[in-house]
Structure 1
Amino acid sequence: MAVHKAGHKAARVAAAVALISVAASACGPGDDDAKGGGRVSEKPAASSSDKSPDAGAPEAEAPSAAGAQLADVPASVKGGVITVGDPKAKHTVKIYEDPRCPFCKKFEDGGAQALVKPVADGKVKVEYTIASFLDNNLGGSGSVNAANALRASVEAGKFPQFHAAVFANQAAEESDDAYTPAFLLKIADKVEGLRGGAFDKAVTNGTYKKWVGEAMESFSADGVKGTPTVFIDGKKADSGALYEQAAFAKELKAKGIS
């Protein structure tokens, strides 16, 4: 009997550890984060006396080559979703991300790399839903600012490149509200041809704040509980395969994507 009880206890402990492991592999919104919206930058923009709206911001790092490989791939917006790739592509991958989520960066550095060639080849289109719940969880405006800037980059025809650059410059600590408008403009400097009057104004003034709220509403309406969450042709991808390029490539291949 004692052995039987010990076995049950060990099973409960193992189950608890498994649940903790799953919870620790994604970022999740709080109960009241589904309302969307948020504030664009709690931090003041540069004053009119500065030479540029990004004066004083830290320097940004160059992104990986993935964004550049998708430079000629079209990006469009419908509702709260940004689609990258041939609209007529046979396969659809849906990706839910929050710019401040470290696990989303881990996915972008890992599994997402397996998507670059299929998207560039016109086999796959990727539908991004950019959430911003971490501002509510952690305080600040970084996720909203970044989502607004990402939306602006679609209008400039540079979304894949800027998306890669944003995640390449994610803060080391999730709690660090690093994505200020000024820093996002510094990040944009790493994308050739992105900076310009319209883009800079949209980033600094929060032109797409309403859209950021719409994107968050799409996230909530889809019943997504955390980021990153990925669906391949309507079926949820194995979360354990998201963070390694080879593992996610295998997941894609199982769905007929190579």
Structure 2
Amino acid sequence: MKRAHRRLTAVVASGLLGAAVVSCGPGHQGAADGGGPRQGSGGAGSASRTEAAYPGLADVPEKVEPDGSTVLVGDPGARMTVRLYEDPRCPVCKEFETSGGGPVLTEWVLRHKAKVEYTMASFLDPRLGGAGSKKAVNALRAALERGKFAEYHAVLYQNQPAEEVDGFTDARLLQLAGKVKGLRSPSFDAAVRSMKYRGFVDSAESAYAAAGHGGGHAGPGTPTAVVNGYQIPVESNGLLLDPGVFGKFLTLADGPSA
């Protein structure tokens, strides 16, 4: 594994994959600093597994990990593990999820090639005002109870309000939940309105903060990806926004580790 990490470090540092600092959080420069959505031809790489692909996100396994703050989406036996740190209000996370590497990663998940560990932060609320991130993370946790986390997660980023607008209100979250078949129910609606999973929201934010650079408590910035234990450096996280480049990176990370 150490050899694989050294190989990835060398490739990323060389600039062959392309890089730009684009994130929310410490040193946040905003999407404009890294350019707009970039086009690419990335896919799920050349490798494939023999299992039949999941037909869609509705069919992908998902659960809360034992740490109580991580949501695991995908085949638990998938060889690749990608940990993602995101905030529902982060505009760069939206770019990643809708037009960057997110759709590529989804293909890997559907093909049993990768599983994703989500740590959903809410640090943007105190910075921007409001409670939209916390409310959205709570709603995502409620969706998980109905096996709809991945689908709802996609819907929220597709319909993300402007960063400075505290748009993830209870009413809006419930309205968006209507776009996910089978998600709305009296129990789900009540969980959203009552912040039933406040403990999960706090635990996820604490886990995000503890993952800061050098063991600090500011968090690593969002989006941050850790691929098979290798954290993409903040100065290179622009590769997350180019589907072609991100696809190449996943293929490299999926290579031999010895």
Given that residues 26 and 220 in structure 2 are in contact (C-alpha distance below 8 angstroms), is that contact kept between their aligned partners in structure 1? yes
| Within-5 A mapping of 1:1-258 | 22=21, 25-28=22-25, 69-78=56-65, 79-109=68-98, 110-171=100-161, 173-223=162-212, 224-237=219-232, 238-256=236-254
Amino acid aligned to 1:202: A
Normalised TM-score (structure 2): 0.74
- Partner of residue 16, structure 1: none
Given that residues 74 and 110 in structure 2 are in contact (C-alpha distance below 8 angstroms), is that contact kept between their aligned partners in structure 1? yes
- Give the secondary-structure state (helix, strand or coil) at the position aligned to 1:175: coil
Amino acid aligned to 2:194: N
Task: Flag the structure with larger Rg.
Answer: 1
Q: CA deviation at 1:122?
A: 1.4
Query: For residues 215 and 161 of structure 1, what CA distance do their matches in structure 2 show?
Result: 19
How many positions carry a matched residue from both structures? 198
Q: CA deviation at 1:225?
A: 2.3
Given that residues 29 and 137 in structure 1 are in contact (C-alpha distance below 8 angstroms), is that contact kept between their aligned partners in structure 2? no
**Per-residue Cα deviation, 1:62-106 (whole angstroms, up to 9, x for no partner):** xxxxx9822101110021000001112111000000000000001
Given that residues 95 and 129 in structure 1 are in contact (C-alpha distance below 8 angstroms), is that contact kept between their aligned partners in structure 2? yes
Q: Which runs of 5+ in 2 are unaligned?
A: 1-19, 28-53, 213-218
Query: For residues 211 and 220 of structure 1, what CA distance do their matches in structure 2 show?
Result: 14
Given that residues 94 and 127 in structure 1 are in contact (C-alpha distance below 8 angstroms), is that contact kept between their aligned partners in structure 2? yes
Normalised TM-score (structure 1): 0.74
Given that residues 68 and 160 in structure 1 are in contact (C-alpha distance below 8 angstroms), is that contact kept between their aligned partners in structure 2? no
Query: For residues 246 and 192 of structure 2, what CA distance do their matches in structure 1 show?
Result: 33
Query: For residues 180 and 228 of structure 1, what CA distance do their matches in structure 2 show?
Result: 22
Query: For residues 150 and 173 of structure 2, what CA distance do their matches in structure 1 show?
Result: 15
Given that residues 55 and 110 in structure 2 are in contact (C-alpha distance below 8 angstroms), is that contact kept between their aligned partners in structure 1? no
Amino acid aligned to 1:243: L
Query: For residues 225 and 205 of structure 2, what CA distance do their matches in structure 1 show?
Result: 16
Amino acid aligned to 2:109: V
**Per-residue Cα deviation, 1:149-205 (whole angstroms, up to 9, x for no partner):** 00111001111110000001101x211000001100000000011000111110111
Q: CA deviation at 1:242?
A: 0.6
Query: For residues 178 and 29 of structure 1, what CA distance do their matches in structure 2 show?
Result: 23
Given that residues 211 and 220 in structure 2 are in contact (C-alpha distance below 8 angstroms), is that contact kept between their aligned partners in structure 1? no
- Give the secondary-structure state (helix, strand or coil) at the position aligned to 1:252: helix
Q: CA deviation at 1:125?
A: 0.7
Amino acid aligned to 2:60: V
- Give the secondary-structure state (helix, strand or coil) at the position aligned to 1:27: coil
Task: Quote the sequence identity (%).
Answer: 48
Given that residues 188 and 195 in structure 1 are in contact (C-alpha distance below 8 angstroms), is that contact kept between their aligned partners in structure 2? yes
- Give the secondary-structure state (helix, strand or coil) at the position aligned to 2:118: strand
C-alpha RMSD over aligned residues: 1.7
